[in-house]
Amino acid sequence: MKRLLITGADGFVGRWLTREALREGWQVIAVIGPAGTPPSLWLSADEARAVTHLEADFTEATDLRLVGRQAADAVIHLAAMASGAQARNDPDGAMLVNATGSAKLIEAIAESGNRPRFLFVSSGEVYGAGHPGPIAEETPTAPVSPYAVSKEAAERAVLRSAEESTLPVIIARPFPHTGPGQSTDYVLPAFAARLLAARASGELEIPVGNLDVVRDFLDVRDVVRAYLLLLEHGRPATCYNVASGTGQHLGACFNRLAELVGVAARPVPDPALSRPADIAVLVGDPSRLQSATGWTPEFTFDRTLQDLVNAQAH
């Protein structure tokens, strides 16, 4: 049985990726952060028996060497400072974890003598603003937030380390994704939570940030399938957008969630919820991914929103 090492395995995406990898027959090594949540608490008993886990701090050399020594056939590196707000508050920390830590992980793997296929998960935000339609991978990167800057720097550092070590590294650039279990630190789960609270309280005014933006939202379950397909079919030293190619207006997303919750709520702008340097339109072109892997999304956007509401309501 092939062994897949997943960093950030106890995060939102990591948990879905672990489940999907187990379904596809992988034996999973789940790497979680210090004081992270062990797999036995978020997997079924049968699933947990097929997973080994270890804790690691990617700013610590000893921990990086421990992860690097794991005998894995493939690695998907999710561990990151993934919150844009957290990165704005601590841009140096975002750079340390997202860029330096990622490059040093590749170096630690190479020093161990292992040669797994390595998928680095970046972000579609590295393209920045000013793109009215779907963005292809050839588009120059121009990040506008500390989070995106750290991810662009991570891509360069990872590719440089991979070239020096001959490790086969593939880069995924996922566009926004959501689904059951995502934190309310992110926009669609936050809307759902506020709308459910409004239905319970009768309060019909919901504070929101800027709704006049367009995002290419995917279901997390489609995203993790794409990652596993890229491990098998992706070309080393190549970037792949993980996107649908279709934009969703955030105001329309709010209205649809309100319909699904069953509440006639009114969005009220709250400047405290607006993001500095917000990108007006962020939509990816998935052609390269689809050509390489045959991947297409299986979940409609409406199904994703319904599952998100159902998960929060129960």
Write out pLDDT tens, residues 32-53: 999 899 999 999 999 999 999 9
Cβ neighbour number for residue 92 with a 10 Å cutoff: 10
First to last CA, the chain: 36
Which domains occur in the chain, in start order?
Answer: 3-178+216-244 (3.40.50.720), 187-214+247-283+301-313 (3.90.25.10)
Alpha carbons within 13 A on the beta-carbon side of 101: 26
Average pLDDT over residues 192-200: 95
pLDDT exceeds cutoff 70 at 187: yes
Q: Of 173, 174, 184, 251, give the one whose Cα is nearest residue 217.
A: 174
Q: For residue 199, give the 3-state DSSP assignment.
A: helix
Reported as a pLDDT band with limits 50, 70 and 90, residue 1 is low
| Both tokens assigned to 56 | 């690691």
Q: DSSP code of 272?
A: G
Question: Which range has the worst mean pLDDT, 37-51, 226-240, 244-258, 272-286?
Answer: 272-286
Exposed / middle / buried, residue 138 (Cβ in 10 Å: 0-12, 13-18, 19+) = exposed
What local confidence, expressed as pLDDT, does residue 273 receive? 85
What local confidence, expressed as pLDDT, does residue 254 receive? 97
C-alpha span between 19 and 290 (Å, rounded): 23
pLDDT exceeds cutoff 70 at 199: yes
pLDDT exceeds cutoff 90 at 123: yes
Mean pLDDT over the full length of the chain: 94
Cβ neighbour number for residue 55 with a 10 Å cutoff: 15
- Percent share of the chain, pLDDT over 90: 89
What local confidence, expressed as pLDDT, does residue 82 receive? 80
Q: What is the pLDDT of residues 69-116, one digit of tens each?
A: 999 999 999 999 888 888 888 999 999 999 999 999 999 999 999 999
- Percent share of the chain, pLDDT over 70: 99
Residues in CB range of 162: below 8 A, 6 or more apart: 106, 118, 168, 169, 236, 237
Reported as a pLDDT band with limits 50, 70 and 90, residue 275 is confident
What local confidence, expressed as pLDDT, does residue 84 receive? 82
| Both tokens assigned to 224 | 């993790």
Prediction pTM value: 0.96
Average pLDDT over residues 272-296: 92
